[in-house]
Amino acid sequence: MEKLLAILEKFPRAHLLVVGDLMLDRFIWGDVERISPEAPVPVLRVTSESFRLGGAANVIHNIRSLGGRVTACGVVGRDSAGRIVTHDLKRIGASTAGVYSDARYPTIEKSRIIAGPGHQQIVRLDRENHGAISAPTRRRLRQFVLKQAPRCGGIVISDYGKGVINEELLSAIEELTSNENALCVVDPKKENYSRYRHPTLITPNKFEASEASGITISDEKSLLGAGKKLVRMWQAKAVLITRGAEGMSLFQARRESKHFPTEPRDIFDVTGAGDTVIAVCALALACGAGYEEAAVMANLAAGMVGDEVGTMAVPMKKLKRIIRDKL
């Protein structure tokens, strides 16, 4: 734990390039007191509304909240949601030099309707683009990554399968990281399972690991089989399978797997936990941590996210306090 604190102190020295699907999370809070006379559905009396950075933007928020420097690379629409995302990224101190607006690409927005004192999510409304990002915008993204990556201490790929991460961009990143042996941490999605190659660390959740490996994870044996297969398939230095309330499992070639249990909690909301995991792992590895140390730190941070409803950025002071409490 003392070593983890020493690594944490180095976080402000790290500068990461985050490439991925930028999103806006909208939360509509209220109380349900009756059923609608129009249809058998609850009527929500709205009490408040809030916006938070989501998707790759939440990864960026977590890196900044933990003291790291970050350059954002992604796409927003020329709409109010895009303006909010860009404004909030600047407000938290992230560089938006690689954030491009595309008139044909509405900003991805997820609206969660939350009811009552128990914060029960009733429904989620997704607004997203169903077409491809324009060719000129894809070229700008690729050119920016090629130019900016050598100036940063590592690349974080936050892939939500919405179009920013594509085969051409992944090939460019693979060439960069292979030639320079640079840090590359990936949060994967099914649209690109067959395209990830040679990541430093890749962090699928349990469902994604099952889907990508073709092995349904239902017990320890299937978990081990899936983890080992993914290390080979992606030619990864390490694979960290996140398992929600069950914790995390770390796999490396020619090494024993390691399991990190999550401490019991009254609630465990996984919204945004994967973003926190990849942010903490990338910062820790960029600051010289080993894979096990990065996993322990990420596991502690993800537990903090599970205590809250909705996406959140983990503060440096809170993570430091939790690690100190373990001493």
Q: Give the residue numbers marked as catalytic.
A: 275
Report the distance separating Cα 11 and Cα 271, nearest Å. Answer: 24
> Are the CB atoms for 309 and 119 separated by under 8 Å?
yes
Report the distance separating Cα 322 and Cα 327, nearest Å. Answer: 9
Tokens at 197, concatenated: 């190659």
> Are the CB atoms for 204 and 176 separated by under 8 Å?
no
Owner of token pair 């590895």: 285
Give CA torsion, residues 86, 89, 93, 98, to 10 deg: -60
Q: Give which of 282, 294, 292 is closest to 156, Cα–Cα.
A: 282
Q: Give which of 164, 182, 158 is closest to 60, Cα–Cα.
A: 158
What percent helix, strand, coil does the chain show, rounded to 5?
A: 40, 30, 30
Report the distance separating Cα 326 and Cα 44, nearest Å. Answer: 42
Report the distance separating Cα 50 and Cα 181, nearest Å. Answer: 41
> Are the CB atoms for 241 and 226 separated by under 8 Å?
yes
DSSP 288: T
Q: Is 236 helix (H, G, I), strand (E, B) or coil?
A: coil
